[in-house]
């Protein structure tokens, strides 16, 4: 379509003023949306990914790096603290995105905020707390800061060409592209970021464990990292529920999740529970609000009072119990119903040479080793060149030693200053650099003693040069330097684990003698995967069900909050959930989107929902090719609290529907060719494996398929015997004239 043309400012302006306008300015040009996104959104998205949200191999995002480097250039590794506002103002020379964003970055990096295992900023004043939503930091004009001692490891040899430098935004200063960190900070301190279309979530690990694991990989690239890297370690502590296979999967793929729970003590004298550590994904306010909500809903009745007693000594949530309450049982229920036990989701997405990449621990450390290896080589090469330059000067000085009087005579008899260096070059056979060095020697130093002292450095320099050249040729020597530096970091900054690892942790299931919520509810499940749980009272008062455009309800059942729900997906997986885990909804709301609620994989959608209480009954998996698989519902029961079952049904054929039955009964299958078949599930053998191929039940010719399945209700067919068969598979029978109209309506 040709673009519409409008009169531009240039065309309407007087000819004398036309030259003041840009050619084509104001013209409306039609453009495809895809082209607009490609031209405008994609550069923005890449900028967010590369320059803002995703950390690089040194463990820092650009905002972190700009702030810390500014503090380094201000000399804040030594001396006392200075006002945070001063630091923020100076940082804007590298990071012109506003003082609020810079100060927020400093707060997170500070020890006062308690967000990092090893904070890089030493703080003075109120910097808020990572575990509190309401405890905010003071304004930058009131607080003070400097670099923490461990920050020295970030800038070691940064002035020795170990990393590249680039211009800042206005080309008035230089800033490093990376820090030559002496240990893998990318794994030691937590780092999270949300970019455009991707995110990063890196959990922290104990510094000593990370360094020992790195050393083990340097010595043997086939080393098992799980031997030295036990588990993540959080600054706030907590207890990590360790599952070996889950942790190994996270280590290998860089994705996954693990559970962390809070730590509490029980004071018998005051009948009070004191929570002193919580998971890193929550806050004290969120926990207290949830407990209050549960108490109001009568789901928790053992608590008299709950309050936040956090002070300068640290975090504390106090819970006063009613007389006779078992604190251990209560805490198990709180772990289950609140964020006192929560899942930390990992997504080890890191920029490698400007490209985002999700990596496992071993691959991350391998990349860091390669990065650090190059830093050390560049440092050695820098020192080598400096040593060679020094040696070259001293060799020129040694020639002066042969005749100091001659050197003095040349300088004294040279008429013009600019001729001094050329005359020294001619007189002693030295080059311009050596002659310049000699010419700059003070008169008081032109004596044999001074020159001999300088020449003593020649042998030392020659030995150092030979040693450095050998280092550059030997990978093993560079590795030894790296190992030595890591061992020094462990010695200086290593500290005990803060997060306790709980091996073989028991499931947090409610005890049998605890009350079970039997209140009735109505379940609604739609084709697009939305789920609603509505109480009878709310349903009576509500109007029409709200649905997404084009969506429809495929299941509406009555049940209770004690029921369990099985959601089957297009990837042949089954996700388990409890009805009580879903909040009471309303007909006027869309409900919970199950793929998001249960954390399904990318591209995974729900096909069906099955409600059960005791896992008694059977499931019929009907495939479009006419095969049917009969599986006992108990095959989906698990003693542990597993949320996902793989291989839930056969993935070799296209699934049409899942039919749950309390006991064997008849199911009516209708083919696209108009034939119908009444199948009694008792004719099928119950399989022990969930993903079995089933058996052929209804034969289908080429181009035909099963298109309707329903549980047969007495009276549905006038002559049901016509559609029954004694042998399987069978083609079924065409609908009689009396049933033709209903058959057509189904099609």
Rounded Cα distance, 213 and 207, in Å: 10
The token pair at 558 is 């009555």
DSSP line for 330-365: HHHHHHHHSTTEEEEEEE-EEEETTEEEE--HHHHH
pLDDT reading at 259 higher than 90: yes
Q: Which fold has domain 263-339?
A: Gyrase A; domain 2 (3.30.1360)
Which segments within 413-510 are labelled E, that is strand? 500-503
Pairing mode of beta strands 564-569, 606-612: antiparallel
3-class DSSP assignment, residue 526: strand
60-180: in CATH 3.90.199.10: yes
Rounded Cα distance, 393 and 410, in Å: 19
**Structural domain boundaries of the chain?**
1-30, 60-180, 263-339, 375-492
pLDDT, position 10: 43
* Sign (positive or negative) of CA dihedral 408, 412, 414, 417: positive
pLDDT, position 260: 96
Pairing mode of beta strands 239-242, 500-503: parallel
What is the CA 624 to chain-centroid distance, rounded? 40
pLDDT, position 427: 86
Backbone angles phi, psi at 522, to 5 degrees: -110, 135
Number of neighbours of residue 148 by Cβ within 10 angstroms: 20
Cite the DSSP H helix spans in 164-269.
Answer: 185-188, 207-219, 244-253
pLDDT, position 17: 47
Which residues on adjacent β-strands are paired with residue 199? 194
Count of residues in the chain: 747
Instruction: Kindly state the DSSP code that residue 38 receives in the 8-state scheme.
Output: I
Rounded Cα distance, 519 and 558, in Å: 11
| Cβ atoms of 499 and 239 closer than 8 Å | yes
Which segments within 595-732 are labelled E, that is strand? 606-612, 618-623, 627-632, 644-645, 655-661, 666-671, 675-680, 695-696, 706-711
Q: Is the peptide bond before 729 cis (omega within 30 degrees of 0)?
A: yes
Number of neighbours of residue 378 by Cβ within 10 angstroms: 17
3-class DSSP assignment, residue 582: coil
What crossing angle do the helices spanning 475-493 and 361-401 adopt, rounded to 10°?
A: 110
What pLDDT digit, counting tens, does each position of 264-306 carry? 999 999 999 999 999 999 999 999 999 999 988 878 888 999 9
* Sign (positive or negative) of CA dihedral 288, 293, 296, 297: negative
Catalytically annotated residues: 142
pLDDT, position 235: 95
What is the dotted CATH code of the domain comprising 375-492?
Answer: 1.10.268.10
pLDDT reading at 690 higher than 60: yes
Among 515, 616, 519, 612, which Cα is nearest to 560's? 519
Among 656, 740, 646, which Cα is nearest to 694's? 656
| Cβ atoms of 531 and 594 closer than 8 Å | yes
What pLDDT digit, counting tens, does each position of 601-622 carry? 888 999 999 999 889 999 999 9
Q: Which residue has the higher pLDDT, 380 or 516?
A: 380
pLDDT reading at 81 higher than 50: yes
pLDDT reading at 364 higher than 80: yes
pLDDT reading at 8 higher than 60: no
């Amino acid at each position: 379509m040709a673009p519409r043309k409008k009169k531009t400012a240039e065309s309407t302006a007087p000819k004398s003023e036309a030259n003041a306008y840009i050619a084509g300015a104001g013209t409306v040009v039609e453009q495809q949306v895809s082209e607009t996104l490609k031209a405008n959104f994609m550069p923005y998205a890449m900028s967010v990914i590369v320059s803002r949200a995703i950390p690089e191999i040194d463990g820092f995002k650009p905002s972190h790096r700009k702030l810390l480097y500014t503090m380094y250039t201000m000399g804040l590794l030594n001396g006392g603290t200075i006002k945070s506002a001063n630091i923020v103002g100076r940082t804007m020379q590298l990071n012109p995105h506003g003082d609020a964003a810079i100060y927020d970055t400093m707060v997170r990096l500070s020890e006062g905020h308690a967000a990092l295992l090893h904070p890089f900023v030493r703080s003075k004043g109120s910097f808020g707390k990572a575990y509190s939503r309401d405890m905010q930091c003071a304004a930058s004009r009131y607080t003070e800061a400097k670099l923490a001692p461990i920050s020295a490891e970030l800038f070691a040899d940064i002035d020795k060409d170990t990393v590249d430098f680039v211009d800042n935004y206005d080309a008035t200063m230089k800033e490093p592209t990376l820090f030559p960190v002496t240990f893998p900070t990318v794994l030691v301190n937590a780092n999270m970021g949300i970019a455009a279309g991707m995110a990063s979530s890196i959990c922290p690990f104990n510094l000593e464990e990370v360094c020992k694991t790195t050393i083990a990989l340097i010595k043997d690239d086939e080393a098992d990292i799980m031997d030295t890297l036990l588990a993540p370690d959080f600054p706030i502590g907590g207890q990590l529920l360790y599952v070996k296979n889950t942790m190994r999967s996270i280590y290998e793929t860089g994705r996954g999740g693990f559970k962390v729970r809070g730590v509490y003590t029980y004071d018998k004298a005051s009948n009070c529970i004191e929570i002193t550590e919580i998971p890193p994904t929550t806050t004290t306010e969120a926990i207290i609000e949830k407990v209050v909500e549960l108490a109001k809903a009568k789901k928790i009745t053992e608590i008299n009072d709950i309050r936040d007693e956090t002070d300068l000594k640290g975090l504390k949530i106090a819970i006063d119990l009613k007389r006779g309450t078992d604190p251990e049982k209560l805490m198990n229920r709180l772990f289950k119903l609140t964020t006192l036990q929560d899942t930390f989701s990992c997504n080890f997405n890191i920029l490698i040479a400007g490209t985002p990449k999700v990596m496992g621990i071993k691959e991350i450390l391998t990349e860091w080793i390669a990065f650090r290896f190059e830093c050390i080589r560049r440092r050695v090469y820098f020192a080598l060149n400096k040593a060679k330059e020094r040696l070259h000067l001293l060799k020129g000085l040694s020639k002066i030693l042969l005749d100091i009087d001659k050197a003095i005579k040349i300088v004294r008899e040279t008429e013009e200053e600019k001729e001094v260096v050329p005359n020294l070059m001619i007189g002693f056979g030295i080059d311009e650099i050596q002659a310049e060095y000699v010419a700059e020697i003070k008169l008081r130093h032109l004596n044999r003693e001074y020159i001999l002292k300088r020449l003593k450095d020649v042998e030392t320099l020659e030995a150092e040069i030979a040693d450095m050249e050998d280092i550059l040729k030997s990978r093993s020597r560079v590795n030894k330097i790296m190992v030595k530096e890591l061992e020094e970091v462990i010695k200086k900054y290593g500290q005990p684990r803060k997060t306790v690892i709980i091996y073989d942790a028991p499931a947090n299931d409610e005890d049998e003698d605890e009350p079970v919520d039997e209140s009735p509810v109505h379940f609604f499940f739609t084709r697009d995967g939305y789920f609603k749980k509505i109480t009878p009272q709310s349903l009576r008062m509500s109007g029409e069900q709200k649905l997404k455009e084009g969506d429809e309800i495929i299941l509406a059942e009555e049940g209770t909050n004690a029921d369990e729900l099985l959601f089957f997906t297009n990837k042949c997986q089954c996700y388990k959930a409890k009805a009580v885990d879903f909040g009471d909804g309303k007909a006027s709301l869309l409900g919970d989107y199950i793929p998001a609620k249960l954390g399904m994989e990318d591209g995974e959608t729900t096909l069906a929902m099955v409600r059960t209480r005791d896992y008694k009954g059977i499931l019929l998996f009907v495939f479009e090719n006419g095969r049917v698989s009969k599986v006992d519902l108990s095959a989906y029961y698990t003693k542990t609290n597993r949320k996902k079952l793989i291989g839930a049904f056969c993935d070799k054929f296209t699934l049409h529907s899942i039919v749950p039955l309390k006991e064997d009964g008849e199911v009516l299958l209708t083919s696209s060719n108009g034939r119908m078949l009444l199948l009694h599930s008792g004719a099928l053998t119950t399989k022990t494996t969930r993903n079995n191929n089933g058996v052929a039940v209804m034969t289908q010719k080429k181009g035909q398929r099963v298109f309707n399945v329903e549980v047969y209700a007495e009276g549905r067919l006038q002559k049901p015997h016509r559609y029954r068969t004694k042998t399987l598979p069978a083609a079924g029978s065409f609908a009689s004239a009396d049933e033709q109209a209903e058959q057509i309506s189904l099609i």
